[in-house]
Structure 1
Amino acid sequence: MTVLRALFFVFVFIPVLVVVIPAQALINALRLPFWNVLPRVFHRVGCIFLGLRVRVVGQPATGRATLLVSNHISWTDIVAIGAVADVTFVAKREVGDWFFVGMMARLQKTIFVDRTRRSDAARTSREMGAHMAGGNAVLLFAEGQSDVGTHVLPFRSALVGAAQHAMIEAGATDVLIQPLTIAYTRLQGLPVSRVERALISWVKSKSLGQNIREILSGGVKDVTIAFGTPIPLGEQADRKAVSKAAETQVRQMLVALNRGHDLSVAGR
């Protein structure tokens, strides 16, 4: 960790946490409608601390039941996305047990899923459906695991289908699936090399501690969050076809961004 980053952590990041944590806990306990304001502040401060410069292409669908489906590269994806969009994340159950991270995830109303129990998918989908039926957005890392950021793994359609039924049951008649692509395009102003991608991404061979050390010791990273074209998800829609269409959009946007194309100019 650099000296400037350490000073920022002590004199800015920690004071923000001291204010945000109890305030957000109170907001959640009282079920106030502006629960998403402080998480956005926290993530924006987190981007500064982690050296993430976030650029947004497109815009998230708002005011409607929306399931965002995204590729996944690193735990820093959550900070970058949370800084520009009001979303509730779906995370594996183990995250809820991590020191500090689990507490912060719960404050942002993260929905946890136990991937070792098939029966838990029904509970997860009900929570997702209830949240989206209120006009909120839920984000699902649809690959089911993280990757290095050079390609997109096949999307898992099971939770999309489960959420489809849950949203209809919860009263959401107008549901959207919106593809979202996250791409780490530059490091210290230069295009990210394959070796450097391994330092940014979080793969199974690394411990969380090792990856955190690599991120904190690294330079400033340019991150692009690209919102794709929303896809209607009706009661009779084919979940596998919708998942595949979303996966194709995410893959096309990731390839374009990694090649240095400007999606905001070239279109998608």
Structure 2
Amino acid sequence: MFLTDKNIIVLSELDSTNNYAKQLLAQKATQGTVVLAHYQHSGRGQVGNSWESERGKNLLFSLILKPDFLIAAQQFYISKIVSLAMVKVLSQYLKGVKIKWPNDIYVGEQKIAGMLIENWVKGNNLESSVVGVGLNVNQEKFLSDAPNPVSLKQLLNEEQDITAILKEFLLQMDEYLHILNRGLFDEIDEAYCKNLFRNSGWHRYKKGATEFEAKITGIGSFGQLRLEKRDGTLSEFMFKEVEFVL
């Protein structure tokens, strides 16, 4: 197995699980080390966004990986398999779980989880990754200006076991790491596209101040979102270059 649930470091509070995991990585932490926090006062999302979480209510963790079998150009596969693993876990509880490109997890039109993945390259290969995950589990009220958060408890009307969800996630991640290690990239690509939020039909997007209608046609090898506009124009967008209009 690539991962087990035997090396989970549980902390009451810290600034960011990713920051703590990076310190451990600098001290030669082993693959599969997990930093789990009951509360983080500077939780981070993609490109400087913050992550709201009530103390003790949600699943906040970072996972250390050492996927040195991947070349640097394949690093978006880490994002793909983390997203797929979370979809697999949450689909045991809910219907309609999707990946909002690049790696937010949605239920219907609401965000239930977000991820911050940081990769390091050595030579031509990926040396290590820190995978930070925030999953809304038992929080019932959200106070930030985030437009559409939702939690498992809000959707299921009962408390959920945070540790059990983490252990299930690690099992699913282990399976996807094996698939990746075997070089079954097409299998991962197909599953990722199949589980994308708004993966069919025409939807509204925004680039800068301009809104337009488009449909998703695929994902590029570096993770770029491929869109076709109504006039047939094909475009590719990297992270934060385009927004979904929700």
TM-score, normalisation: structure 1:
0.27
Higher normalized strand content (fraction of residues): 2
Higher normalized contact order (CA 8 Å, seq sep 6+, divided by chain length):
1
Higher normalized helix content (fraction of residues): 1
